[in-house]
Amino acid sequence: MTLLATVLLVPWVAGALLVGLDGRRRPLAWSAVAVLAVGLVLLVALTVRVASAGPVQLVTGGWPAGVGIVLRADALGATFAVVSQLVLLVAAAHEAIPGPRARSFPGLVVLLAAGLTGLFLTGDVFNFYVFFEVAMTASYALAAYGGRPRQLRAALVFAAVNLLGSFIFLLSVAGTYRITGSLAMADVADGVLRAGANAGLLVAVGFFVAFSTKLGLFPFHFWLPTVYAGSRPAVAAILSGAVANIGGYGLIRFGAGIFPAQLRMAATALVVLGAASIVYGGVLAVSRGDTAELLAYSAIGQVGYVLVAVGVGGPVGLAAAVFYSVVNALNKALLFLTAGLRGPLVAGAFVVGALSVAGVPPAAGFVGKLTLFRTGVAAGSPALVVLLLVGSALSLLYMFMNYQRQFWRSDPAAGTTVSPLPRRALVAVLALLVLALGLWAEPLWQLSQQAADLFARESG
């Protein structure tokens, strides 16, 4: 229990301190990295405990449950918290190596970590909204990092669209309170079962729209290419590898945990939307010349897989959704960071990321795709399996077209400056991690299955 409180408090205190200081100085940037590393170690310890001894729960202020706010760490939340923290750590180190360009950067990343950790470890719907806004506010400011017109425009688009998503989320929270009379997730899930079908569906659709906007799924994706292509590589890695996890986590937590009946009812619609996302993202990514833009469209395609897995549902589908979300976050962080670098080791790291996105062994994406195929088979739908195959073929095509264009060209004007070695070593380490996750996927797969079992018990 103290571990759960410590995990939340460390980034809060450190972030509040760091934001007030000049983050352009190297020692401060590295101390932010150290705070994130400490947070990661604590989160891993928490995850190990959750995996071996079951969920950890804490009611704030010692109030009885129902009055106080419930903090709850289970396999699903802990997994997402660990992967988000890891991406933030790598991105912060990536910027700390040459020294950040803006004074607020290190503090904002730590505050973002505080918001994300809180969001994944809360058991209360409104508290989820508060942490969600903390994380989003930090990421709006981060999107403007760099300060050039392109980044400012990206930040404005990102902030305007996602604020709208946040308020739709808030409207849905109000609706939830209206129909269930409570805010703790466990009570809300019980209340929804008793509430009228129409009201439940309306609120569920509101949550779905809010999370899809965050995730950048097909009909809500319009803001995503501008933002990912416009922001700096480290920020794009943070947005796609850590902030987008909110959407995936929310779909699983709210869809399977709170609105299971509505999820079953809308299963076909979700699978169709996911399929549209996969095809749209894949086809447009093939047509893009710019690497960052290509990766942005690829991100739209990849989250489609998560939505398909959530739509199919059941223990197999949800475990695949969790597993694929984690792998996708790491892939995208690796690729966005690599896209901005030049020199030895970089092309190798890019290939590992490309193989992982396409689902070729031994990268982690292979195991992810395998679990998705298993989902398709479990759903008993040949069309779904064919679609997944087409999506993978498209991703192989666009990733390697880009690889060829970026790393095989002979134009000396494009690649004269070699990036500093520590930066290249960092992406190489991340690439090794993706490989290791593909070679020894057992722990993550176990964790994903534990997360899926959570909902099997609740709904069954």
Partner 1 sequence: MNLAFATGAAVLFGCGAYLLLHRDLFRVVGGIALISQAATLTLIASGLTRGRAPISPEPNEPVSDPVPQALALTALVIGLATLALLLALVHRLTVVLRTARHDELAAQEAQHESRLEPDRQRDRDEAT
State which residue, 130 or 429, has the beta carbon closest to partner 1: 130
State which residue, 107 or 359, has the beta carbon closest to partner 1: 107
| Min separation Cβ 1 and partner 1, Å | 25
Contact residue for partner 1 among 46, 83, 111, 144 (CB under 8 A): 144
Reference 165, options 138, 129, 199; nearest CA is: 129
Question: Would you list the DSSP string of 86-135?
Answer: HHHHHHHHHHHTT--SSTTHHHHHHHHHHHHHHHHTB-BHHHHHHHHHHH
**Stretch of 31-39, 157-165, 372-380, 389-397 lying at the interface with partner 1 (CB under 8 A):** 157-165
Interface of this chain with partner 1, residues 268 to 297, rule: CB under 8 A: 289-290
State which residue, 162 or 371, has the beta carbon closest to partner 1: 162
For residue 213, report the phi and psi dihedrals to the nearest 5 degrees.
Answer: -60, -45
Q: Does 155 bind partner 1 (CB under 8 A)?
A: yes
Tokens of 172: 């849905």
Q: Does 63 bind partner 1 (CB under 8 A)?
A: no
Distances (CA, A) of 242 to 26, 114, 188: 24, 12, 27
State which residue, 101 or 405, has the beta carbon closest to partner 1: 405
CA 435, chain centre distance (Å): 19
Contact residue for partner 1 among 411, 412, 416, 417 (CB under 8 A): 411
For residue 59, report the phi and psi dihedrals to the nearest 5 degrees.
Answer: -100, 125
Q: Does 409 bind partner 1 (CB under 8 A)?
A: yes
Distances (CA, A) of 158 to 71, 139, 408: 29, 9, 34
Q: Does 401 bind partner 1 (CB under 8 A)?
A: yes
State which residue, 277 or 395, has the beta carbon closest to partner 1: 395
Q: Does 183 bind partner 1 (CB under 8 A)?
A: yes
Question: Would you list the DSSP string of 124-193?
Answer: BHHHHHHHHHHHHHHHHHHHTTT-SHHHHHHHHHHHHHHHHHHHHHHHHHHHHHHHHS--BHHHHHHHHH
Q: Does 19 bind partner 1 (CB under 8 A)?
A: no
| Min separation Cβ 27 and partner 1, Å | 28
H-run or E-run covering 401: helix 382-407
| Min separation Cβ 375 and partner 1, Å | 35
Reference 239, options 323, 166, 312, 299; nearest CA is: 299
Contact residue for partner 1 among 405, 425, 443, 446 (CB under 8 A): 405
Q: Does 175 bind partner 1 (CB under 8 A)?
A: yes
Tokens of 331: 């892939």
| Min separation Cβ 128 and partner 1, Å | 12
Binding site residues, partner 1, CB under 8 A: 126, 129-130, 133, 136-137, 140-141, 144, 147, 149-150, 152-153, 155-156, 159-160, 163-164, 166-167, 170-171, 173-175, 177-178, 181, 183, 289-290, 401, 404-405, 409, 411
